[in-house]
């Protein structure tokens, strides 16, 4: 009986020609092939990381703002601050890659303050569309302290890791937008003597992420448990942008500016204060008094605001951006072979109702849905429907049937 010669299933070397021949179920592999396979794996991982990092294009702040202008109407102050922050973040990444200087650039995390419907989340989503670094949006309202019902703060990093296709090097140079950060304000101005698990407790947990630390992150998100595999992420180069409505902070600003002071000592300069838009005078102490702990305010040094949307701005939002609402509805009807025509008076009517009910830009869609729902229901089934002409009388009639029309104007 001829004895079967053992040989490597990959290169064909006999056992006598190798140092070690590792046996599997139906195959063998020698030490040379193992070494070569390890080299191939390391080169593949390195090339993937370098490909991701080399995609970063250093957009100038004006170019970033010009891109934002295509999708977001107004809010020039917030756009400029966001553009500069993203541009500097790009330069931080480039500096980290090249390591050609001993000067270490610190990141400037941002807080955006603005009423609901003014475009905070839209700004973040629009920047995400143009960025070449991982970007995710996290909702602060679901976060709680570790061990309580809700999500751990580390789940924010899990989302960023998933967006980066589990490329740790890329995720460590990403951007995170924390929405509704005002919802984790502590319940009183004094430090809590009891557990504030969804307010001050979350802020304390966020500190290490904002400042920069090596954090153990569960790759699939969810709660951490001792036997779970963790991925370590260094947050030192992750840029954090936070947004919130901060409902009621205008009273804090008014108190600081003493807008209601009267008498002989009244400062004439205070007469120039725009009482209709107090958010433009916001400062870090106001955010601290609202309920964010001083450590959080200190780690997010850049504070910007978004203007309340006026009639002219809302009208432009309806028709001008690349993804304007009227363009969206026109396209929806066009897909059914129907041409939609809208009178100018209808646009003014929609804007006026949105302002009256204080619904912001989001209210524009709600009002238009109410006006167009019947048409979107009937016309696709109509055989001879080619044109939909929306007049002011038609809009008013359909709007009266909606639930919005039953609201009491504040």
Per-residue pLDDT tens over the stretch 244-272: 989 889 889 888 887 554 445 555 554 57
Q: Check residue 192 and give its pLDDT.
A: 52
**What is the tens place of the pLDDT at every residue in 10-47?**
888 888 888 888 888 888 889 989 988 888 887 776 65
State mean pLDDT over 239-244. Answer: 91
Rama region for 381: left / alpha / beta (φ>0; ψ in -120 to 50; rest)? alpha
CA distance 359 to 148: 34
State mean pLDDT over 64-76. Answer: 90
Pair type for strands 110-113 and 239-244:
parallel
Three-state SS letters, 183-240: HHCCCCCCCCCCCCCCCHHHHHHHHHHHHCCEEEECCCCCCCCCCCCCEEEEHHHCEE
CB contact at 8 A, 85 and 300: no
State mean pLDDT over 376-390. Answer: 89
Has residue 365 got a pLDDT over 50? yes
What percent of the chain has a predicted confidence (pLDDT) above 70?
A: 84
Q: Check residue 33 and give its pLDDT.
A: 92
Has residue 342 got a pLDDT over 60? yes
CA distance 136 to 67: 19
**What is the tens place of the pLDDT at every residue in 160-195?**
988 888 888 888 888 899 998 988 887 665 555 556
CA distance 32 to 173: 37
CA 184 to chain CA centroid, Å, is 17
State mean pLDDT over 365-384. Answer: 90
For the ranges 24-33, 78-87, 96-105, 216-225, which has the lowest average pLDDT? 96-105
State mean pLDDT over 191-219. Answer: 79
Q: Check residue 242 and give its pLDDT.
A: 92
Q: Check residue 331 and give its pLDDT.
A: 94
Average pLDDT of the chain is 82
CATH code for the domain defined by 57-305: 3.40.50.300
Q: What is the dihedral of CA 267, 272, 276, 280, to 10 degrees?
A: -100
Q: Check residue 51 and give its pLDDT.
A: 47
CB contact at 8 A, 177 and 135: yes
CB crowding 118-135: b at 16 or more within 10 Å, else e: bbbbbbbebbbebbbbbb
Handedness of CA 334, 336, 339, 345 (dihedral sign): negative
Has residue 55 got a pLDDT over 80? no
Top CATH class of 312-406 equals mainly alpha
Give the DSSP letter of residue 303. E
Could you tell me the residue ranges of all domains in the chain?
15-53, 57-305, 312-406
């Amino acid at each position: 009986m001829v004895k079967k010669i053992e040989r490597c299933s990959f290169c064909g070397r006999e056992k006598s020609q190798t140092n070690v021949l590792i046996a599997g179920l139906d195959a063998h592999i020698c030490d040379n092939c193992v070494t070569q396979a390890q080299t191939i794996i390391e080169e593949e991982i390195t090339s993937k990381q370098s490909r991701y990092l080399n995609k970063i294009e250093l957009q100038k702040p004006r170019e970033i703002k010009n891109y934002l202008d295509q999708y977001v109407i107004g809010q020039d102050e917030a756009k400029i601050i966001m553009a500069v922050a993203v541009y500097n973040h790009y330069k931080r990444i480039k500096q980290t890659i090249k390591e050609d200087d001993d000067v270490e650039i610190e990141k400037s995390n941002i807080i955006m303050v603005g009423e609901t419907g003014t475009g905070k989340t839209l700004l973040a989503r629009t920047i995400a569309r143009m960025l070449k670094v991982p970007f995710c949006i996290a909702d602060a309202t679901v976060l709680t302290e570790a061990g309580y019902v809700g999500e751990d703060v580390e789940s924010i990093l899990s989302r960023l890791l998933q967006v980066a296709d589990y490329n740790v090097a890329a995720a460590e140079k990403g951007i995170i937008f924390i929405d509704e950060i005002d919802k984790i304000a502590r319940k009183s101005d004094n430090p809590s003597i009891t557990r504030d698990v969804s307010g001050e407790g979350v802020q304390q947990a966020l500190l290490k992420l904002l400042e920069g630390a090596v954090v153990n992150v569960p790759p699939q998100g969810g709660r951490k448990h001792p036997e779970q595999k963790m991925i370590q992420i260094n947050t030192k180069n992750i840029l954090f942008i936070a947004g919130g409505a901060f409902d009621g902070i205008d009273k804090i600003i008014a108190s600081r500016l003493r807008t209601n002071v009267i008498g002989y000592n009244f400062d004439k300069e205070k007469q120039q204060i725009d009482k209709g838009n107090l958010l433009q005078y916001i400062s870090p102490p106001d955010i601290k008094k609202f309920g964010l702990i001083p450590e959080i305010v200190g780690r997010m040094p850049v504070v910007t605001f978004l203007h309340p949307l006026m009639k002219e701005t809302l009208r432009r939002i309806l028709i001008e951006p690349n993804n304007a609402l009227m363009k969206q509805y026109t396209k929806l009807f066009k897909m059914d072979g129907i041409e939609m025509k809208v009178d100018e008076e209808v646009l003014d009517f929609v804007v006026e109702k949105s302002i009256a009910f204080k619904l912001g830009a989001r209210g524009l869609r709600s009002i238009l849905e109410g006006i167009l729902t019947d048409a979107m229901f009937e016309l696709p089934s109509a055989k001879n429907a080619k044109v939909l002409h929306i007049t002011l009388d038609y809009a008013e009639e359909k709007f009266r049937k909606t639930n919005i029309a039953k609201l009491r104007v504040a």
